[in-house]
Amino acid sequence: MGGVFTEEQEALVVKSWSVMKKNAGELGLKFFLKIFEIAPTAKKVFPFLRESDVPVEQNPKLKPHAMSVFMMTCESAAQLRKAGKVTVRESSLKKIGAVHFKYGVADEHFEVTRYALLETIKGTVPEMWSEEMKNAWGEAYDQLVAAIKSEMKPSN
């Protein structure tokens, strides 16, 4: 399990998210394209990419999916301290865990996603970026992943 998510970390996450929020669609897409750039095999995890013959960035289903994942990740991070635990809107950790289990998402996918998330944020708010901000987002992400992994089992 991750460590403690401090008030300072919360402030850094909330401040950067408030800037990124209005551009969540573009940023979500950037985030996912970065994942696929680092780990092309990650595409196999997504049924809508497997069954498609258009280039990834032109896939009509990618942007809405990417945006919802990016928003969920950032919103979960922004309210981690207030809620006192990882929470997600519009879905449940149980459901997210079951889906990740079903499509065979592995530890290295979470690692790549972590790196891609931090790179996307760094590229979006370079003037705010610092070691502290990197650690804040990293901690929030780690706690979200721990919560998802604890629910990664078959749905019944």
pLDDT digits (tens, 9 = 90+) for 60-116: 999 999 999 999 999 999 999 999 999 887 678 899 999 999 988 989 999 999 999
Tokens 């991750």 locate to: 2
List, for residues 16-51, the tens digit of each pLDDT value: 999 999 999 999 999 999 999 999 989 988 999 988
**Residue 125 per-residue DSSP state:** S
Distances from the Cα of 148 to the Cα of 38, 94, 131, angstroms: 22, 7, 26
- Taken in order of first residue, the domains within the chain and their CATH numbers are 7-149 (1.10.490.10)
CB 155 within 8 A of CB 98: yes
CA proximity to 77, closest of 43, 120, 44: 120
- SS3 of residue 22 by DSSP: helix
pTM comes to: 0.91
pLDDT of 155: 67
List, for residues 102-142, the tens digit of each pLDDT value: 988 989 999 999 999 999 999 999 999 999 999 999 999 99
Distances from the Cα of 99 to the Cα of 45, 46, 102, 145, angstroms: 10, 10, 5, 13
Taking the mean position of all CA atoms in its chain, how far away is CA 44? 18
Per-residue pLDDT at 3 exceeds 90:
no
pLDDT of 70: 96
Per-residue pLDDT at 154 exceeds 90:
no
Quote the tokens at residue 101.
Answer: 């289990």
pLDDT of 2: 53
